[in-house]
Amino acid sequence: MKALARRQETRYFPDHGEDGYEIGHYDLDLDYRVGPNRLTGTARLSATAAARLDRFVLDLGSFRIGKVLVDGAPARFRHRRGKLTVLPARPVEGDAAFTVEVRYTGNPSPVSSHWGGVGWEQLTDGAIVAGQPTGAPSWFPCNDRPDAKARYRIAVTTASAYEAVANGRLTGKRRTGATTTWVYEQDEPMASYLASVQIGRYRHAEVDGPVPQHLYFPQAAEDEVRHDFGRQGEMLAAFSDLFGPYPFGAYTVVVADDELEIPVEAQGMSIFGTNHADGRRGSERLVAHELAHQWFGNSLTLGRWNDIWLHEGFASHAEWIWSEVSGGEAADAHARRWHGRLAERPQDLVLADPGPRNIFDDRIYKRGALALHALRRTVGDDAFFRTLREWTSEHRHGTVTTAAFTALASRVAGRPLDDLFTDWLYTAALPRLP
């Protein structure tokens, strides 16, 4: 038996996130003017200190800071290079609860990354948030690390001609003059990069299924959207049976009135472009992919970015599962085809530690799906889907690691699977399918 190889994980984005405190709740009041792309925000953060804090740091983009309060008292601060350093009037003692209020204003812009700008972005007529992996500071102060989950209240005020859509339950809507304020509550813990606001001139419709499903779309695309997302209720029911109960109270899809290169993942929400609604279900695999992220990525969120395959490999495998259960190609046919394609690609990527520049490499998606298919072939359907259901149940709304998944899979299978996982997760060369 091979010993299950594991690499020492290094922090992929060391400039984001802090260890000295834990934020339990974000309360965001946002006022956004679409035309000038002007955002005015007040963020109230409820936190607990891990140790005595003479100062602490939040991630926040290029805004003008009006005031910072700690426990209601004005605090000194420095803000440069995406870091807001706060010096409270009195140190915060270890294990003490404290509050931070930040008032800020400016023109939100995406955070620079290896993949272009990520975060808040102005559309032709509206705005979109695509926060993965480090875009959250583009619109609110936060502890921007994926394992720092918190609950959220997000209130958005904008011109009444627009709809504002955010994570969670819509708990309030009030019109004042020419503007409307929308209030959303995200009850389940959420990573900062999954927080999202979408603003546009959208119509709203419902999709039948086991949980409430909301569709927001531009009026001109209504027929295509209703058709292309028409099987989403069946998809959600099938995934709930195979993966375990849907982890949130509702699911929202926004089709932005612009073309997007790829769909965008958020907690309880997915965002597509009009190019993903062609009226022929040409992007239905992406509908399945983004829906699957609600289990694998949103409810179960990686603790460190080296484990990105736990999101993208699982969601890509769900595409094959939906194809199979909906009467299309069997998962095995998809696996054989993609194995052949990956065999022709460079063999220099380790799935469980690909490096920060490679976290969105297509090989993460497809080799991750193949690793799961190899597990399914090895242990059989009963043990495989029981593993997925136990995985989503044991770690519901938590953070996960590759080591935890491989341990669970071996336990459910009733035998060590070290050889399988060493070959697929920790070795660069592409293994044969079992």
Judge contact between 180 and 157, C-beta under 8 A: yes
Is 98 among the domain residues? yes
- For residues 98 and 28, membership in a common domain is answered with yes
For the chain, give the longest Cα–Cα distance.
Answer: 71
Q: pLDDT tens for residues 13-42?
A: 999 999 999 999 999 999 999 999 999 999
Is 371 among the domain residues? yes
What is the average per-residue pLDDT within 193-206?
97
pTM for this prediction: 0.96
Q: DSSP letter string over 275-310?
A: GG--SS-TTHHHHHHHHHTTTBTTTBEESSGGGTHH
Domain of residue 356 covers 301-425
Q: Give the H or E element holding residue 189.
A: strand 179-190
- For residues 250 and 110, membership in a common domain is answered with no
Judge contact between 296 and 368, C-beta under 8 A: no
- For residues 65 and 25, membership in a common domain is answered with yes
Q: How confident is the model at residue 8 (pLDDT cuts 50, 70, 90)?
A: very low
pLDDT for residue 6 is more than 60: no
- Other C-beta atoms lying within 10 Å of the C-beta of residue 329: 12
Is 431 among the domain residues? no
pLDDT for residue 372 is more than 80: yes
Strands 97-106 and 38-49: antiparallel
Is 1 among the domain residues? no
Angle between helices 362-379 and 309-325 (to 10 degrees): 60
Question: How many CA within 13 A on the CB side of residue 70?
Answer: 24
pLDDT for residue 9 is more than 60: no
- For residues 192 and 216, membership in a common domain is answered with no
- Other C-beta atoms lying within 10 Å of the C-beta of residue 263: 21
The number of folded domains in the chain is: 3
- For residues 183 and 229, membership in a common domain is answered with no
- For residues 353 and 229, membership in a common domain is answered with no
Is 15 among the domain residues? no
Q: pLDDT tens for residues 219-248?
A: 999 999 999 999 999 999 999 999 999 999
Whether the CA torsion 89, 91, 96, 102 is positive or negative: it is positive
- For residues 100 and 168, membership in a common domain is answered with yes
Last residue of a domain, one of 167, 199, 231: 199
- For residues 214 and 154, membership in a common domain is answered with no
Nearest-angstrom CA–CA distance, 154 and 166: 7
Is 56 among the domain residues? yes
- For residues 261 and 359, membership in a common domain is answered with no
The mean pLDDT value of the chain amounts to: 96
What is the average per-residue pLDDT within 167-181?
97
Last residue of a domain, one of 153, 173, 199: 199
- For residues 257 and 332, membership in a common domain is answered with no
Last residue of a domain, one of 199, 229, 264: 199
Nearest-angstrom CA–CA distance, 251 and 295: 12
Q: What is the pLDDT of residue 391?
A: 98
pLDDT for residue 153 is more than 90: yes
- For residues 108 and 210, membership in a common domain is answered with no
Q: Name residues whose C-beta falls within 8 Å of residue 17's C-beta, 6 or more positions apart in sequence.
A: 59, 143, 144, 145, 148
Is 268 among the domain residues? yes
Q: How confident is the model at residue 270 (pLDDT cuts 50, 70, 90)?
A: very high
Q: pLDDT tens for residues 299-327?
A: 999 999 999 999 999 999 999 999 999 99
- For residues 411 and 399, membership in a common domain is answered with yes
What is the average per-residue pLDDT within 43-68?
98
What is the average per-residue pLDDT within 109-137?
95
- We report the CATH number of the domain holding residue 187 as 2.60.40.1730
Nearest-angstrom CA–CA distance, 236 and 268: 13
Q: pLDDT tens for residues 89-114?
A: 999 999 999 999 999 999 999 999 98
pLDDT for residue 7 is more than 60: no
Quick one: what percent of the chain has pLDDT higher than 90?
96
Q: pLDDT tens for residues 249-258?
A: 999 999 999 9
- Other C-beta atoms lying within 10 Å of the C-beta of residue 292: 26
Q: What is the pLDDT of residue 366?
A: 98
Would you call 341 helix, strand, or coil by DSSP? helix
Is 161 among the domain residues? yes
What is the average per-residue pLDDT within 140-154?
98
pLDDT for residue 262 is more than 90: yes
